[in-house]
Amino acid sequence: MKKYLAKYLNPKAISAIGGFVLNPKGLVEGNMAGAHKSPFHGFSVEFAGHREYLPGDDPKHIDWRAYYKRDKYLLKQYEADTNLVCQLFLDVSESMRYGSGELTKFEYANYLAVSLAYLVTRARDKIGIGLFDDRVVRYIPPSNSLGSTYTISEMLEGFVPSKKSGIDKTILDFAERIGRRQLVILISDCLLDIEQLKYGMARLHYDHHEIVLLHVMDPYELDFPLDGHVKFKGLEGFKELKLQPKQIRKAYLEKVNNHIRKLRAACDASRAEYVLVNTGRPIEEMLFGYLTSRLTHLTRGGRRS
């Protein structure tokens, strides 16, 4: 049992997302009991064990005999039931250190990652995480332990982004580590080569993973509300520049919007979900809005495959 509170486990965010389950848009496969439907047919449906009842579970699977014996709601699980495996792939390159407000992009991304880890393990599903800059620098294999949330938060608390990003070899390395079809959530500011990203996502799609890209941007990067004479400090090897933002604002915004359009197109090519994340928005609002949108999509029966 951890003796500390996870830094990136935001109480407001946890309260906002507590009623959600991160269901896959497609079908999943797994090797232990869980709450999601298997993509395979012909499995044995023999009894495999119990798990604790959670809000939102179908009451018809409650084992009433177990309830009368133990005074506790337990769900019957069968071999054909399967668990979700979610993999987070988090950008820890130097550009993620930028922030115009209280939180840098890296800190905001950490809150997202830990909140999602909590959501996944709370449903007894598995969460894994990889950190990357120009390589995969750290990797924690999937686990459904509630302690995974604290382990991930502790790892992120001690990390300082300092290197350039590189997505081509890193995402292929990551794909080799994770194996079979899973839900892959890429969290990045996407200041990288889009063609390399497109190639990497194509590999993930080929392996039948569901892909979500959370594109993290600071409001100053999106709106460029600067004026006067400004000194821009270069990150990831870029030089320092002194400019008047007013003179370049139009060209800058055109480039940013074009970059976002290319990212969306790259996601469409691999049937990935693109989500623009503005770090000026409270984390609990962002997560609640995204999960509500995802749930609405599932309820309506929409699914990319």
Neighbours of 227 (CB within 10 A): 10
% pLDDT > 90, the chain: 57
Q: Is the pLDDT of residue 302 over 90?
A: no
pTM of the model: 0.80
pLDDT surpassing 60 at residue 305: no
Beta-bridged to residue 76, according to DSSP, are 50
Q: Apex CA 34: angle with CA 28 and CA 37, to 5°?
A: 40
What integer pLDDT is reported at residue 76 of this predicted model?
Answer: 73
Quick check: 256 pLDDT over 80? yes
11-19+83-299 is classed CATH 3.40.50.410: yes
Residues β-bridged to residue 241: 232
Q: What share of the chain is helix, strand, coil (3-state, %, to 5)?
A: 40, 20, 40
pLDDT per residue over 119-158, tens digit each? Answer: 999 988 999 999 999 999 999 999 999 899 999 999 999 8
| Element of type H or E holding 17 | helix 11-17
- For tokens 């079809």, the residue is 181
pLDDT at 183: 95
217 or 49, which is more confident: 217
- As a whole number, mean pLDDT of residues 268-283 equals 97
Higher pLDDT, 147 or 49: 147
Residue 33: the pLDDT is 42
The reported pLDDT for the residue numbered 152 is: 96
Domain boundaries, the chain: 11-19+83-299, 44-79
Among the ranges given (1-5, 85-89, 240-244), the one the predictor scored with the smallest mean pLDDT: 1-5
| pLDDT of 43 over the 50 cut | no
Spatial distance between the Cα atoms of 228 and 224, rounded to a whole number of angstroms: 12
Structure tokens that stand for 300 in this block: 């309506």
Say how far apart CA 206 and CA 218 lie, in whole Å: 32
* Residue 46, CB-side half-sphere exposure with 13 Å CA sphere: 2
